C-alpha cells in the first residue's frame, strides 16, 4: 500500500510542487550554470518538471475560488521553473549567441 502522496492516481499539490522544485535543483547542479556545460541528462529534470506541472493541472477546478487562484499561481511557478530548465538545456548549444573572440 503506497502512501497517498506517492500514489499517482490521487491529485496532489505537494507532489507536483516537490517534483518541479527538486527537478529545478537537480538541473542547476547538472548544468554547472556559470560554466554553461552541455549535458544531455538535463532532459530528465525537464520531463520531471513537466510531470509536476501536469499534476498541478489535474488539481484545477472549473469554478473560480481561492483554491483555484492558488493552483494558477503554482502553474505559473511551474512554467517559470520549466523555462529555466529548458534554458539550461538549450543554451550551451547556441554558439551563435555567445561571441568567442
**35-77 residue pLDDT tens:** 878 889 999 999 999 999 999 999 998 899 999 999 999 999 9
What's the CA gap between 93 and 91, in Å, rounded? 5
Q: Is residue 56 a contact partner of residue 79, using CB atoms and an 8 Å limit?
A: no
Residue 6 banded pLDDT, cuts 50, 70, 90:
confident
CA angle 71, 75, 79 (to 5 degrees): 170
**7-27 residue pLDDT tens:** 888 888 999 999 999 999 999
State pTM to two decimals: 0.86
Amino acid at each position: 500500500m503506497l502512501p497517498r502522496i506517492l500514489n499517482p492516481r490521487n491529485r496532489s499539490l505537494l507532489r507536483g510542487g516537490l517534483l518541479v522544485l527538486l527537478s529545478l535543483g537537480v538541473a542547476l547542479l547538472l548544468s554547472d550554470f556559470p560554466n554553461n556545460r552541455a549535458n544531455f541528462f538535463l532532459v530528465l529534470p525537464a520531463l520531471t518538471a513537466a510531470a509536476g506541472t501536469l499534476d498541478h493541472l489535474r488539481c484545477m477546478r472549473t469554478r473560480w475560488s481561492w483554491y483555484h487562484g492558488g493552483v494558477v499561481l503554482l502553474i505559473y511557478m511551474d512554467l517559470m521553473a520549466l523555462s529555466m530548465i529548458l534554458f539550461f538545456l538549450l543554451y550551451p548549444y547556441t554558439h551563435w549567441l555567445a561571441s568567442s573572440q
